[in-house]
Amino acid sequence: MYRAIARSFGPAADVVRVEPYQPDPPGPGEVWVRMTAATVNPSDLVTISGAYASRTRLPLVPGFEGVGVVERTGPDVGTLAVGDRVLPIGSPGAWQRIKRTEARWCFPVADGLTDAQAATSYINPLTAMRMIEEHVFPGRTRHVAVNAAGSATAAMLARMLHRRGVSAIGLVRGDPGAPGRAEAPWAAVLSTGRADWHEELRRRTGGRGPDVAFDAVGGAEGERLALTTAPGGRLVHYGLLSGRPLPADLTARRPDLGLHLFWLRAWVHAADPADVRRALRAAGELVRSGDAATRVQARFPLAEIGTALRAAVERGRDGKVLLEP
């Protein structure tokens, strides 16, 4: 059997290779999960690049998201049984044929989901759900801005906010009218390539700026978005697509601004497992309803990992890339 592995940091297509391996037998509380589909996410690519080198151990089998079937169990795995269809979360390692993992991190797949739906029902849907639950308040939040608006998470945010009656404005680096933008119910889409985009954002939010801003970019764009947020507003920073952090003095320059870092992994590891199970079930329902649906641009066998990663980088706006280990 085979796995994808990175032994150094760098561009994913350059440093990730496929190699044969033999997983160790599952020990107490562990299972083998035979992966049937795994997602290539921006968070995977950013991690492989070395942006989080201080908390990433090499060699690394990437893949934070995927779906599979329990193939073998060790002792003391509770009710988990061979043949159960699960989401093995809580650690990387989805980009391989067999993932040996702790049974406590294997959650049931919501009923009626295909492999493609199940493999994309965790990171983006749960991130959008949790950020809205924690930071968007009925009757108080009128305007929200979301950068990287061409991303899957941003589209989910737009659809979920629309259902709550909240105006969501998307920010993109390229053409606001590019194909795919209309798939999400944005009140407007602005290009951050324009020098005056922040002024236009203020104009479209009644002159105040957005009450809440979701930042997946960081760097100069995240900084400008923070400075454009309404007095007493919130910036929720949940991604680092630019590879650059927000400036360290941001809160000193905007002491009124609530700066919140959202890291899904932190919530998942701190939450009660029953709460995680309920959240994943709700996310699965949102996937099935379409509010958290993800467009898949292509599927590749693990042997074609280089081609798959290049497609994810070069054509990410066309949808997710799935690996079929």
CATH code for position 86:
3.90.180.10
Burial of 93 (0-12, 13-18, 19+ CB in 10 A): buried
How many angstroms separate the CA atoms of 190 and 147, rounded? 9
Q: Is residue 148 part of a domain?
A: yes
Domain containing residue 245: 127-264
Is residue 288 in some structural domain?
no
Give yes or no: residues 245 and 135 share one domain: yes
Q: Any alpha helices (H) in 70-207, and if so which ranges?
A: 115-119, 123-135, 152-163, 197-204
Total domain count, the chain: 2
Residues 51-102 pLDDT 10s: 889 999 999 999 999 999 999 999 999 999 999 999 999 999 999 999 999 9
Identify whether residues 209 and 305 lie together within a single domain: no
> How confident is the model over 176-204, as pLDDT tens digits?
766 555 579 999 999 999 999 999 999 99
Residues 10 and 27 in one domain: yes
Same-domain pairing of 255 and 140: yes
Terminal C-alpha separation, the chain? 9
pLDDT range class, residue 174, cuts 50, 70, 90? confident
The answer on 13 and 113 residing in a single domain is yes
Based on the fold, state whether residues 61 and 21 are members of the same structural domain: yes
Q: Which pTM value belongs to this model?
A: 0.92
For residue 64, what pLDDT is reported? 97
Residues 132 and 228 reside in one and the same domain = yes
Statement to judge: residues 53 and 133 lie in one domain: no
Same domain, 255 and 156: yes
For 112, 129, 290, 305, the CA distances from 285, given in Å and listed in that order, are 9, 12, 9, 30
> Residue 179: its pLDDT value, please?
54
- Shared domain check, 29 and 83: yes
Residues 205 and 240 sit within 8 Å (Cβ to Cβ): no
Q: Is residue 143 part of a domain?
A: yes
Tens-place pLDDT, residues 231-270: 999 999 999 888 899 999 999 999 999 999 999 999 999 9
Same domain (yes/no): 57, 182: no
Whether residue 77 lies inside any domain: the answer is yes
Residue 41's pLDDT band (boundaries 50, 70, 90)?
very high
Model pLDDT, residue 221? 97
Q: Is residue 141 part of a domain?
A: yes
- Check whether residue 182 and residue 221 sit in a common domain: yes
| Mean local confidence (pLDDT), 113-121 | 97
